[in-house]
Amino acid sequence: MVQICQHPLIETKLSLMRDKQTPTAIFRDCLEEITYLMSFYVFEHSELIQKPKHITTPTGATLYPKRLKDKVLFVPVLRAGLGMLTPMLKLIPTAEVGYLAIARDEATLKSIKYYEKIPALDNPQVVILEPMLATGGSLIQTLDTLKEAGFTRFKVVSIIAAPEGIAKIKAKHPDINIYICSLDENLNEHGFIMPGLGDVGDRLYGFPEER
């Protein structure tokens, strides 16, 4: 399932992210703000349960508070996915976090995993944070790794995606729910999304020539 998260506020923030003149600080803020807005779609149908201990309101009434039924595991794909992690953790501070670092070889467009740290949890709802779904290589490797570790329930949160990447994910992992803000036109000859918004990692943390 692919759900496009459409909202006027998402559109305005995404327009800022697409502009190559947008400063790094504003780009970061827009990514976090869009992530907040997308979370309402991602967790819209989550089940709730009552906590066993009641609370007292300022008016003296008592009630049993609610919480999410499922344990949540956020997996940001480094490094760009880190830009989406903070807003998610603010909304669900009890969630745990796993890390996967995957780089794309720009010559071959193949994905290379160079770091992995995933906690052992019993059947959590895994939410993968990957701002751009381009060729699909990094996401396929992420899903392969997590499924090999025993995880079975996945949601993917991406800001934009290319049709080519979506098609690859559907072919290899048809059971995955994907949430995006925009399905862009295509990939160019270098494997970048068009019209896209550039390299999210570089725009968040600095371009290679600036480091």
Whether residue 210 has pLDDT greater than 70? no
Q: What is the pLDDT of residue 211?
A: 36
Whole-angstrom distance, CA of residue 151 vs CA of residue 120: 9
Residues 6+ apart with CB under 8 A from 155: 42, 125, 126, 127, 128, 176, 177, 178, 179
Q: Which residue has the higher pLDDT, 207 or 66?
A: 66
Query: Mind listing the domains of the chain with CATH numbers?
Result: 2-46+68-206 (3.40.50.2020)
Share of the chain above pLDDT 90, in %: 77
Residue-wise pLDDT for 11-64, tens only, equals: 999 999 999 999 999 999 999 999 999 999 999 999 999 988 999 999 999 999
Instruction: Give the mean model confidence (pLDDT) for residues 115-123.
Output: 89
CA distances from 19 to 55, 193, 196 (A): 47, 14, 10
Q: Which residue has the higher pLDDT, 132 or 110?
A: 132
Q: How confident is the model at residue 208 (pLDDT cuts 50, 70, 90)?
A: low
Whether residue 204 has pLDDT greater than 60? yes
Residue-level length of the chain: 211
Residues facing residue 76 across a β-bridge: 129
Q: Where are the alpha helices (DSSP H) in the chain?
A: 8-18, 24-42, 85-91, 137-148, 163-172, 200-205
